[in-house]
Structure formats: C-alpha cells, structure tokens
Amino acid sequence: MHKKLFIPGPVDVAPDVLEQMKKPMIGHRFQECFDLFESCVKNLKRLMFTKNEIIISTSSSTGLMEAAILNCVKKKCLNFSCGAFGERWHQITKNCGKEAKKVEVEPGEAITPEIVEEELSKDDYDAITLTHNETSTGVTNPIYEIAEVLKNYDNVCFLVDAVSSMGGIKLEIDKLGVDVCVFGTQKALALPPGLAICSVSEKAIKKAETIENRGWYFDFLNLLKYARKFQTPATPAISLMYALDYQLKKILDKEGLENRYERHKKLGEIAREWAKKNFELLPKEEYASNTVTCVKNTRNINLKDLKEKLAERGYAFATGYGKVKETTFRIGHMGERTLEELKEYLNTIDEILGF
C-alpha cells in the first residue's frame, strides 16, 4: 500500500506528472532537448519572478548549495542558521575550505533583519547564506526585511536556500535582490527528487569570475555557458525535465501561483490550529511556515507508536529533525496536498490518540 506522504519532502507526485517520465528518451545534444530545456527555463523564471539566468542541475538541492559556496565565496562567508539546514550550509562552507562564521538562533526562532545587520556590520564577507524556510523547525525567516538590510551591502552575495518554500510561499527573486536562490523538485513543486534549480545574478557571475577553484560539475561559469545554449555540460535527468516542464505549466497556467500560495496559507492555518489545540507550535506563530508545521510533543506522545499506527492507515508521518528530533514532530503540507486531505490526516491522528 502506498503511504500518503505527510512528510516535508519528498511529497506525493500527481499521476499525470509521473506519467511524463515515461516519454521516450531523447539525446541531450538534440534540438528536442534544447526546446525542453528552454521551456523549463522560461517557466522557472516566471515561478521565481526573476530575469536572472537559471541553472538546472542533476543533483539534489544540496549540490547547488555547495555550488553557491564554491562560486560566490572567495574567502569568507556568514552562515545564518536557525536549524539543521542552516547548519548544513555552514558545514558545506567549511568543507569547501572557506572561512565560515556561523550565527545561530535557538530552534523555533527566526533570523531577524537586526541580527543580519549587526553581524554584517562587523566584518567583510563575500556572501551570506540564509535558509528561507527552515524545514527542521518550521520557521519561515522574514526574507523581505532581511533583503532590505542586504541592499546596503553591495559587495555581499545573498545566497538563499528556498528548497522547501519555492512554489508554496511567494518569493520574488529580483525584488529581493537574491543572487543565488536554490531549490529542488521534491518539495513544494511536487515532483520526484533528482533535479535542483538555481538562479544566478550578474553579481554572482562577476564574483565567480574572481574565484579560481570552482570545481567542474558545479562551476557556474561552465554551467551557464551551456545553459545559454539550453544545454548542460554533463547528461541531465531528461525524464525529470519532462515532468518539470509539465508541472510548471500546470502550476503557472492551471492553478495559478497566487492560488497556490493561498492554498498553502490555508494548509498552514489548518495545521497550526490543530497543533495549538492539541500541542504547541515550536516557532512563534508570526514565523510559522505554510509548507511545514513543527509541533512540540508537549503531551509526551509515543511518536514511534503513532508513526506505526498511521502507517497502518496509509500515512507517512514525519518525526522531528536536527536538534529537536526527540521533542517535536512535523506535518508536511506542501505540493499538491488539499485542505481535505490534511483535515483527514489530522482527524486520523485525533482518532489514534483519542482526542
């Protein structure tokens, strides 16, 4: 039996989207593949509200997080962390041999523009990293306010992980002045895992030109040289590109972006109401995410038991992650999830726990 995924990625993929992956294979140096690539890029720019260049990478999102560091950090990077994925970018920065300063807040708290301003004013950095939507704690950082601070730091590249928000929460790349925005296919876009996407600004390209060891697979300059011809240096996951192209058209032209954000907002509200009624939210409500809700296990429920009982009823349940692994659980509500499906899921939990 397939378990409906209420985890924060990967998420369920609609059958018609999966169907796209059965298309016959084509060569990646043929016009038909260039057309597919071009169509994906055109719609990705609409999704991201950007005129910046786009890279489609056959990797998970983490690959492009690493790419952003390799290409935009010459010496020193400031890593803001409010959970496990902020921490991941810090580890990547250090492992790439760069100087990395981590600024961390407690689980459930957000990175505020005040924190960013204070830290940026202390030293010279090539870049900052920010997790827009921290999937481990269910926090959406106030990126519009943070972007205002960045506008006073012309030489600093703004690197953003939008892995669990892009396509579910509005994020306007050009308005925000984000230099590299990274996300993957398996979260709010509701596609199978395997492709990562990022936008690259002129500033990021200029920075990359000053850096010598950018690797090969994730070298922005080489990737962009090919992307301008609607190609990739190495063989891309063509089947996933078929699904991406189809799903982007569905999102943009069938549901509509604003409707999609609104649906996610309602999903978030339903999950938060339920969490507050029965438990407690980990984040302050003003920063609580509309794609994933992190709930404090204030009743000391046996989560392993709950996970098993939900599995028997056809649901995949998400435990905690990172520092709050033992004390929280999460409700993933992104992608194609409907309000009805979420309510049914929460009712099932109520039934199991006898609420």
Ligand X SMILES: *Cc1c(COP(=O)(O)O)cnc(C)c1O
The nearest distance, CB 282 to ligand X, in angstroms, is: 15
Nearer to ligand X (CB atom), residue 169 or residue 310 = 169
**What are residue 140's phi and psi, to 5 degrees?**
-105, 115
60 versus 222: smaller Cβ distance to ligand X: 60
Instruction: Between 164 and 247, name the residue whose CB sits nearer to ligand X.
Output: 164
Count other C-beta atoms under 10 Å from residue 96's C-beta: 16
- Applying CB under 6 A, the residues found at the interface with ligand X are 9, 60-62, 85, 131, 133, 135, 161, 163-164, 184, 187
Paired tokens of 30: 């043929």
The alpha carbons of the chain give a radius of gyration, in whole angstroms, of 20
C-alpha–C-alpha distance, residues 137 and 166, integer Å? 17
- CB neighbour list of residue 254: distance below 8 Å, 6 or more residues apart: none
**Minimal distance, residue 288 CB to ligand X, in Å:** 15
**What secondary structure letter does DSSP report for 255?**
I
Q: What contacts 262, CB < 8 A, 6 or more positions away?
A: none
Q: How far is the CB of 286 from ligand X (least distance, A)?
A: 19
Nearest distance from C-beta of residue 309 to ligand X, angstroms: 26
CB of 65 to ligand X, least distance (A): 7
Beta carbon of residue 9, minimum distance to ligand X (angstroms, whole number): 5
Question: Under DSSP, is residue 312 helix (H, G, I), strand (E, B) or coil?
Answer: helix
Q: Find the distance separating the first CA and the last CA of the chain, reported in whole Å.
A: 26
What sign for the dihedral angle of Cα 130, 135, 136, 142? positive
Report the distance separating Cα 244 and Cα 189, nearest Å: 9
Taking the least distance from each CB to ligand X, the nearer of 91 and 302 is 91
Return the number of the residue (61 or 71) whose C-beta is nearest ligand X.
Answer: 61
Please say whether the beta carbons of 21 and 239 come within 8 A.
yes
Instruction: Dig out the tokens for 76 from the structure.
Output: 């020193």
Nearest CB to ligand X, comparing residues 33 and 295: 295
Closest approach of ligand X to the CB of residue 278, in Å: 25
* Complex with ligand X: residue 20 or 164, whichever CB lies closer: 164
